[in-house]
């Protein structure tokens, strides 16, 4: 029964594909417009909160990357996008090598674009209060190793530390977009989500690839390697989010590697090598570092903004 349904579906798909191809060949000049949407609704009202929720993460990324590379943030680049939200706590320029600096500056500017795209498509809210202080990162890394690192971890000290701190960030956006995808229905909002997901996952892949090249190096002055750091951070996030393994370090046991055939894990993905997905509640448990979406903390001392995050905080 099921295969029959599937094959008639693919038959319908084939017909509509070929009619599109025939349609475009019959034009005298090439077009660049996408075919008309199957469901002609640009934005469903239910899309709005989910995409606005992502602004919490996009603001975090924008400030961390812009400050890290340039020493200033959204207020210097595009202040109206902050919509009057308070400036971040403790963000500062990082001591980066020239190539890493160029890439992180690019990532920072990309986040400005993401903020603009989301806010102009579904509206937005003011930048939440963000704690990007080295003290906050140090606490997170202590939590990951389950003992205080000595000296405290400083994300801004050098490129390796900064990229390890960055390992914490676009991944949350990536899994959040994968999680939101089934609930986004408008053709404009779907297009927005796909575009955001593509760049977030590219950023995550760059960061992970950069770290993988140094996987066996010690993160001085500690005795742990770069790979150890990623494994501990991923384990911490799985623990905070409380929904099983959806986050993997750069080296994994074979049974978590692609096709159970490799321990190399430059990308974090499930048994079919598909990206993991997370709900807003899982993301908040992680980025609040409290394991509780009702309890603000971590990067968001006063919690996230927007209806989804505020409702969790209010019903506490
Ligand atoms: C890999 O191992 C897991 C059990 O650890 C199993 O569920 C899965 O089917 C295996 N995948 C492949 C491709 O063999």
189 part of a folded domain: yes
- Domain assignment of residue 17, yes or no: no
Provide the domain count of the chain.
1
C-alpha of residue 245 to centroid of ligand 1, in Å:
14
CA 172 / ligand 1 centre spacing (Å): 25
3-state secondary structure 268-282: CCCCCCCCCCCCHHH
Does residue 273 line the site of ligand 1, with CB under 6 A? Answer: no
272 Cβ inside 6 Å of ligand 1? no
Measured between alpha carbons, how far is 92 from 98 in angstroms, rounded to an integer?
17
Are the C-beta atoms of 52 and 123 separated by less than 8 Å?
Answer: yes
Which are the contacts of 67, defined by CB distance < 8 A and separation ≥ 6? 73, 88, 91, 92, 93, 94, 108, 132
User: How far apart (Å, rounded) are the C-alpha atoms in residues 44 and 67?
Assistant: 35
Calculate helix-pair angle for 280-287, 45-70, nearest 10 degrees: 30
Alpha-carbon gap, residue 68 to 232, rounded angstroms: 23
User: Where does the pLDDT of residue 98 fall: very low under 50, low under 70, confident under 90, or very high at 90 and above?
Assistant: very high
Contacts of 29 (CB under 8 A, 6+ apart): none
Q: Where do runs of H (alpha helix) occur along 26-155?
A: 45-70, 74-77, 98-122, 134-145
Query: Is residue 136 domain-resident?
Result: yes
In a domain, 7, yes or no: no
Is 88's pLDDT higher than 50? Answer: yes
Token code pair at residue 261: 């055939």
Report residue 28's pLDDT band, with 50, 70 and 90 as the boundaries.
confident
DSSP code string of 201-225: HHHHHHHHHHHHTTTTSB-TTSS-B
Q: Which residues neighbour 150 within 8 Å (Cβ) at sequence distance 6 or greater?
A: none
**228 in any annotated domain:** yes
Structural domain of residue 293, as residue ranges?
A: 40-314
pLDDT for res 16: 47
Residue 255: CB within 6 Å of ligand 1? yes
Q: What is the mean pLDDT of the chain?
A: 93
Ligand 1 centroid to Cα of residue 270, in Å, is 10
147 assigned to some structural domain: yes
What pLDDT score was predicted for residue 29? 83
CA of 261 to the centre of ligand 1 (A): 10
| CB 24 near ligand 1, within 6 Å | no
pLDDT band at 25 (very low <50, low <70, confident <90, very high): low
User: Residue 68 pLDDT more than 60?
Assistant: yes
Domain assignment present for residue 12? The answer is: no
- Average pLDDT on 172-196 reads 97
Lowest-pLDDT choice from 27-31, 100-104, 233-237? 27-31
């Amino acid at each position: 029964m099921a295969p029959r349904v599937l094959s008639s579906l693919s038959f319908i798909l084939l017909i509509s594909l070929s009619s599109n191809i025939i349609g475009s060949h019959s034009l005298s000049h090439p077009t660049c417009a996408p075919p008309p949407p199957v469901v002609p609704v640009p934005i469903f009202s239910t899309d709005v909160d989910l995409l606005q929720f992502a602004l919490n993460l996009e603001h975090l990324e924008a400030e961390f990357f812009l400050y890290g590379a340039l020493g200033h943030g959204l207020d210097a680049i595009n202040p109206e996008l902050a919509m009057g939200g308070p400036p971040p706590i403790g963000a500062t320029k990082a001591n980066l090598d020239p190539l890493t600096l160029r890439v992180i500056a690019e990532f920072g500017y990309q986040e400005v674009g993401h903020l603009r795209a989301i806010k102009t498509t579904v509206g937005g809210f003011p930048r939440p209060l963000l704690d990007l202080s080295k003290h906050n990162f140090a606490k997170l890394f202590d939590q990951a190793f389950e003992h205080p690192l000595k000296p405290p971890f400083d994300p801004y000290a050098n490129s390796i530390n900064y990229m390890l701190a960055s390992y914490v960030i676009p991944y949350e956006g990536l899994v959040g977009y994968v999680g939101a995808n089934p609930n986004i229905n408008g053709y404009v909002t779907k297009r927005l989500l796909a575009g955001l997901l593509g760049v977030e996952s590219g950023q995550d892949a760059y960061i992970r690839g950069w770290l993988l090249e140094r996987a066996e190096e010690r993160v001085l002055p500690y005795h742990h390697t770069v790979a150890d750091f990623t494994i501990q951070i991923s384990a911490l996030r799985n623990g905070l989010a409380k929904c099983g393994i959806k986050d993997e370090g750069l080296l994994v046991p074979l049974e978590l590697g692609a096709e159970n055939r490799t321990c190399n894990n430059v990308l974090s993905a499930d048994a079919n090598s598909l990206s993991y997905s997370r709900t807003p509640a899982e993301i908040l448990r992680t980025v609040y570092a409290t394991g509780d979406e009702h309890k603000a903390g971590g990067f968001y001392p006063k919690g996230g903004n927007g209806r989804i995050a505020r409702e969790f905080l209010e019903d506490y």
